[in-house]
């Protein structure tokens, strides 16, 4: 149940769910568009819900921008073709299959199970493939940059994050980005292993890990990032 309703300038009402997390130092906001549009607020024990709401309201402009970038969802159906992880794949529902499988050339994904589970099975397959490619990209960097743990998230406003504990999180929706853009996000987060900021030294490390084209990849993500949320 929503604790509050945030109203966009368009009049759309976005449910807000507030939770208290032990050890948290600051209020965090997570605007989500999938599987439903909602805003998750996490707050420290000593921060009141009213204070959390005031903080949310102070971020009105940012919240508006987040949801403006989120496109209308496209329903994925059998015989559709979608692009992910650098290739175009046709989706084919085969109810007699117990599990998904790709054609030998990788151009067709045969999706098993009932029709009501079609989208979920496609999404889960993309997540699985995404993690494989993600780990391969991490291994391109020197071992000293590797994270202790990799987590897959479905975030609206952040493509990746690096915690002080060594865990790196990535949005699986990067699977719908060009591979060089996905690699940019990976190298960006790996660079945080040495620099937990965005200092000139940090960006020098990103360029060292990524190679030429960092600004081009960064610009693509700024201009087209919202498109990565059009499915599921």
CA separation for the pair 81, 31 (Å, rounded): 29
Domain tally for the chain?
A: 2
pLDDT band at 223 (very low <50, low <70, confident <90, very high): confident
SS3 content of the chain, % helix, strand, coil (to 5): 40, 25, 35
Say whether both 15 and 98 belong to one domain: no
Q: Provide the CB-side half-sphere exposure for 2 (13 A, CA).
A: 12
Determine, yes or no, domain membership for 207.
yes
Task: Answer with the one of 69, 99, 125 that is the final residue of a domain.
Answer: 69
Residue 29: CB partners within 8 Å, gap ≥ 6?
A: 39, 40, 41, 55, 56, 59, 63, 157
Q: Mean pLDDT throughout 46-58? A: 95
Instruction: Indicate if the pLDDT at residue 156 is higher than 80.
Output: no
Say whether both 86 and 59 belong to one domain: no
Q: Mean pLDDT throughout 150-168? A: 90
Q: Mean pLDDT throughout 167-179? A: 97
Say whether both 59 and 17 belong to one domain: yes
| Choice among 58-67, 200-209, 210-219 with the minimum mean pLDDT | 58-67
Q: Mean pLDDT throughout 108-127? A: 96
Q: Which residues span the domain enclosing 161? A: 81-229
Instruction: Indicate if the pLDDT at residue 29 is higher than 80.
Output: yes
Say whether both 98 and 167 belong to one domain: yes
Determine, yes or no, domain membership for 75.
no
pLDDT band at 90 (very low <50, low <70, confident <90, very high): very high
Omega cis (within 30) before 108: no
Q: What is the pTM of this model?
A: 0.77
Element (H, E) at 186: helix 179-191
Say whether both 57 and 169 belong to one domain: no
Per-residue pLDDT at 23 = 86
Of 185, 169, 182, 172, give the one whose Cα is nearest residue 231.
172
CA separation for the pair 59, 66 (Å, rounded): 11
Residue 105: CB partners within 8 Å, gap ≥ 6?
A: none
- Backbone angle region of 20, left / alpha / beta, with phi > 0 → left and psi within -120 to 50 → alpha: beta
Element (H, E) at 209: helix 200-210
Give the number of residues written for the chain.
232
Say whether both 43 and 132 belong to one domain: no
Q: Are 120 and 111 in contact (CB under 8 A)?
A: no
């Amino acid at each position: 149940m929503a604790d509050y309703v945030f109203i966009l300038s368009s009049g759309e009402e976005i449910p807000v769910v507030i939770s208290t997390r032990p050890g948290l130092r600051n209020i965090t906001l997570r605007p989500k568009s999938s599987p439903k549009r909602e805003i998750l607020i996490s707050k420290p024990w000593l921060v009141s819900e009213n204070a959390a709401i005031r903080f949310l309201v102070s971020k009105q402009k940012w919240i508006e921008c987040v949801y403006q970038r989120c496109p209308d969802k496209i329903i994925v159906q059998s015989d559709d073709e979608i692009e992910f992880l650098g290739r175009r794949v046709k989706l084919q529902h085969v109810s007699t299959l117990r599990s998904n499988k790709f054609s030998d050339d990788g151009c067709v994904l045969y999706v098993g199970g009932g029709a009501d589970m079609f989208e979920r099975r496609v999404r889960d397959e993309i997540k699985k493939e995404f993690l494989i490619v993600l780990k391969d990209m991490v291994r391109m960097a020197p071992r000293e940059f590797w994270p202790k743990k990799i987590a897959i998230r479905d975030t609206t406003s952040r493509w990746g994050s690096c915690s002080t504990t060594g865990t790196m999180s990535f949005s699986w929706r990067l699977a719908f980005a060009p591979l060089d853009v996905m690699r940019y996000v990976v190298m960006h987060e790996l660079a945080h292993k040495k620099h937990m900021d965005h200092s000139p030294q940090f960006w020098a490390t990103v360029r060292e890990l990524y190679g030429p084209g960092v600004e081009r990849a960064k610009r693509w993500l700024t201009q087209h990032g919202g498109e990565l949320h059009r499915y599921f």
